[in-house]
């Protein structure tokens, strides 16, 4: 990369992450997951993939020509992975909290974890909690049509739902997120829609408001 490319991309990353911090109401430590998350650009990527999260190294890797809109999705993968050992008693390497919740793994009781589980329930189950959500059903149908297992994975459903939550926020940043309404994937129903989207957004808002308050209190020395 040229120095001009490095500077331009660094500025866009910084602005996107600063906006994400504002939207999540938390300190900078939230974005770095207490300093455990690494960010690489222009190396460590996968062919044909603009961005991906590597659980083994806890790295968010973006390709040199990564298009805008991928950061929110991949950052949530990192958070989902990080929270697995915080929310469940038997976390295994590489497992996501959303997948552990769907598998009914033994959980760690905590007010923040209960709010997190509300997010997963709103994404994966219907509004009565008695069956699969419409989002899950549409994702399964797309997977079947393509003879694959990807869109219906709980961690992918959770990351796409988080994208929608961020895109619906008043603060807009297309480098952070875009495509949850008009993209080909959105037209296939792979993002939350209608009342289901509103319900998921409300659950995420409650969780991140509470998480941000708790982390800011810790950083100011008022909490444990």
- Per-residue pLDDT of 76-123, as tens digits, reads 999 999 999 999 998 787 899 999 999 999 999 999 999 999 999 999
Torsion of CA 100, 102, 105, 111, to 10 degrees: 80
Q: Please indicate, yes or no, if residue 112 is contained in any of the structural domains.
A: yes
> What does the alpha-carbon distance between residue 42 and residue 210 come to, in Å, rounded to a whole number?
35
- Residue 76's domain spans which residues? 68-219
Q: Please indicate, yes or no, if residue 108 is contained in any of the structural domains.
A: yes
Q: Please indicate, yes or no, if residue 17 is contained in any of the structural domains.
A: no
pTM for this one? 0.92
Going from the C-alpha of 48 to that of each of 78, 94, 163, the distances in angstroms are 20, 22, 21
Question: 103-110 contacts: CB < 8 A, separation 24 or more?
Answer: none
Residues in CB range of 15: below 8 A, 6 or more apart = 173, 175
Q: Please indicate, yes or no, if residue 41 is contained in any of the structural domains.
A: no
Q: Please indicate, yes or no, if residue 58 is contained in any of the structural domains.
A: no
State the pairing for strand pair 38-41/59-62. parallel
- DSSP three-state, residue 39: strand
> What does the alpha-carbon distance between residue 38 and residue 20 come to, in Å, rounded to a whole number?
16
Q: Please indicate, yes or no, if residue 5 is contained in any of the structural domains.
A: no
Q: Please indicate, yes or no, if residue 78 is contained in any of the structural domains.
A: yes
Work out the angle at residue 67's Cα, subtended by the Cα atoms of residues 172 and 145, and round it to the nearest 5 degrees. 100
Domain count, the chain: 1
Highest-confidence segment of 32-41, 42-51, 88-97, 184-193 = 184-193
Q: Please indicate, yes or no, if residue 34 is contained in any of the structural domains.
A: no
Q: Tens of pLDDT along 185-214? A: 999 999 999 999 999 999 999 999 999 999
């Amino acid at each position: 990369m040229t120095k001009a490319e490095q500077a331009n991309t660094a500025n866009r990353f910084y602005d996107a992450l600063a906006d994400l911090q504002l939207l999540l109401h938390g300190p900078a430590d939230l974005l770095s997951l207490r300093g455990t998350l690494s960010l690489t650009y222009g190396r460590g990527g996968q062919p044909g993939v603009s961005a991906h999260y590597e659980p083994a190294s806890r790295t968010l890797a973006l390709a040199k020509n990564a298009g805008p809109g991928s950061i929110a999705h991949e950052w949530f993968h990192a958070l989902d992975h990080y929270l697995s050992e915080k929310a469940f008693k038997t976390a295994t390497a590489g497992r996501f909290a959303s997948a552990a919740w769907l598998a009914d793994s033994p959980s760690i009781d905590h007010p923040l974890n209960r709010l997190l589980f509300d997010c997963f329930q709103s994404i994966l189950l219907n509004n009565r909690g008695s069956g699969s959500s419409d989002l899950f059903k549409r994702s399964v149908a797309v997977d079947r049509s393509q003879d694959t297992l990807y869109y219906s994975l709980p961690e992918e459903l959770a990351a796409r739902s988080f994208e929608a939550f961020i895109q619906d926020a008043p603060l807009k940043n297309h480098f952070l997120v875009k495509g949850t309404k008009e993209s080909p994937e959105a037209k296939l129903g792979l993002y939350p829609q209608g009342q289901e989207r509103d319900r998921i957004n409300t659950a995420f808002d409650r969780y991140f408001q509470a998480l941000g308050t708790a982390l800011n209190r810790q950083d100011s020395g008022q909490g444990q």
